[in-house]
Amino acid sequence: MSKIKKILIANRGEIACRVINTARRLGIGTVAVFSDADRKALHVRMADEAVHIGPSPAAESYLVVDKIIQACKDTGADAVHPGYGFLSENPDFARALKKANITFIGPAPESMEAMGLKDAAKKLMSEAGVPVTPGYHGDNQEPAHLQKQADKIGYPVLIKAVAGGGGKGMRKVEAAGDFLDALASCQREAISSFGNDQVLIEKYITNPRHIEVQVFGDRHGNVVHMFERDCSLQRRHQKVIEEAPAPGMTDAVRDAMTLAAVNAAKAVDYVGAGTVEFIVDGSGALKKDGFWFMEMNTRLQVEHPVTEMITGLDLVELQIRVAEGGKLPEQTDITMSGHAIEARLYAEDPANDFLPSVGSLDILTLPGIHRVDTGVEQGGQVSIYYDPMIAKLIVHSGDRISAIRDLAQLCQSTQVYPVRTNTRFLFNCLNNAGFQSGDVSTNFIAENWDALNSDGSVDANLSYMAWILRPDPDGSVFGSNDGWRLNQSPRLEQFRMLDGEEIRLSLDDFGTQNRYVTAVKRPEGRVVFIDGLYFLTTNAAGAVGGAAGGNAITAPMPGKIISVNCAAGDKVKAGDKLIVMEAMKMEMSLEAPRDGEVGSVHFVVDDLVADGDILLELKDT
């Protein structure tokens, strides 16, 4: 095949920027595509060319195959990198590109189809000798039949959309009485996200770990692995922290797991980057017979940087080389060193059930001493239309504990305002003794919720010392007004934080628990950052709302109504799920705040609502 000259990235955000960086280093031209919401996005400005492809909703822009192909034709792009999400695992997209004589930087559509439906993939893997989890993968999708199969498997079980991914269309069911409600919710999310509401049912491993193997295939029949990643720290089946290699991994288990992954890839004649995911028995030491095939992602993974850090390979470059017909390195030439760990920085509020936080990034400081992959910058926006990830914070060090400590420090130094983030939550995870010892499972966050969601650094008994940062108009120390003096210590201001208020302290007030914090002067007050949290000293910022209490149920954030389960005049009880809405790829049930009668319902299914809109009101009691 000929060398690629110009790549169109059929994606957005940090993965688009990531691909552009590698393509630029290789001397390959780049084309970005963008929706209305992304007109000023970082990836648009980074690319050599950019093409507008439609309105903000992904279904009208990033997911429209014809618009992507037309953008290729208009710009002369001879290849497409799909990133992850959107069209990355869509075999019809790959076929359409081939028909248009455009190179798809990814696997063959047949390989995608073989691994795209979880039920068929598990059958194929079983035939290939790859261990699979016990469960029901049949075609009979009648709720009563699925309930019977779940009862037979034994609870807890996991309902999973066969076309799912990224934690979407997945529900854990603890008891038979909860099955039908969970099934309906899972199917709604699956049809919305993937256009397919078929599900499978699996036995839920009670103390599971999630370990995956990076595999690569080329057009010469070679398939290699690039070791494993541990992605066990998850919430709602979404990965939070990933690392490589996996804690507690032995050579014997690694050999067995990577061999199974390579065999899985060979079974579908795989070409390009892929990930074989295993559910692993985490009840004790890892065992050669203690892991089972979960699924194969036929694309690059969000967490691919940790593999790059331990191997020294650029996986995007390898994707491009393979798409051009090049050969992969020999397995014996792929080695690993040290330990890498990645945290996903999200615009969300862990204290409020991880509700996404949208708005402008008035302050965004991402320290550059380690690797940071991002698709946003200060002054940008976190939109309601797409995944709320701000950045990936990645550290590589000589050993696991050093990497964890460096990443915790990176989280401490990160500053985002006014959207809420999970920075403090990540900091707490990394500093948890259980996590540091390698005692992790996919239940880790739920089992340690109180400790991980603690704001322990904000204590009225602690005193804080802060640099006061102000604009530096000419870029020199002489243009700043932070109190700098030649041959003297910089001027410092001391605070005692209490409920977001500022109290001046004398030097004598300092104790032994001082923390260094950063304070940034803003028109609305002074923003003080402490271990990943921020506080507005003149007007404490509140958490994102939910039900307004009393008679009204309000929208906790902008989104779309997907289900209305009541009408005016209906009698309801406290906790009844009255309205279901979807925002930023997350389904939320809004419940009755008290017993009563529905007075009025203001929206219907498919309506778009704004943050704070009153969706429903109960009659006065």
Active site residues: 299
Strand partners, 7: 30, 79
Q: Which residues contact 285 (CB under 8 A, 6 or more apart)?
A: 248, 250
Number of C-beta neighbours around residue 5 at 10 A: 12
CA separation (Å) from 293 to 88, 304, 361, 368? 21, 19, 40, 37
Contact in structure between 239 and 230 (CB atoms under 8 Å): no
Q: How far is 528 from 544, CA to CA, in rounded Å? A: 19
* 243-269: b (≥16 Cβ within 10 Å) or e: bbbbbbbeeebbebbbebbbbbbebbe
Q: How far is 347 from 452, CA to CA, in rounded Å? A: 17
Residue type, 564: V
Contact in structure between 427 and 409 (CB atoms under 8 Å): no
Contact in structure between 66 and 51 (CB atoms under 8 Å): no
What length does the chain have?
A: 621
Q: First-to-last CA distance in the chain?
A: 74
CA angle, residues 288, 291, 295, in degrees to nearest 5: 140
Number of C-beta neighbours around residue 99 at 10 A: 9
* CA atoms lying within 13 Å on the CB side of residue 223: 21
DSSP 371-399: EEEES--TT-EE-SSS--EEEEEEEEESS
Q: Which residues contact 42 (CB under 8 A, 6 or more apart)?
A: 17, 374, 375, 376, 377, 380
Q: How far is 297 from 495, CA to CA, in rounded Å? A: 49
Dihedrals phi, psi of 495, to nearest 5 degrees: -130, 155
Among 289, 7, 245, CA closest to 130: 289
Which residue bears the tokens 């541990």? 230
Question: What tokens does 214 get?
Answer: 């990076």
Which residue bears the tokens 């690993």? 336
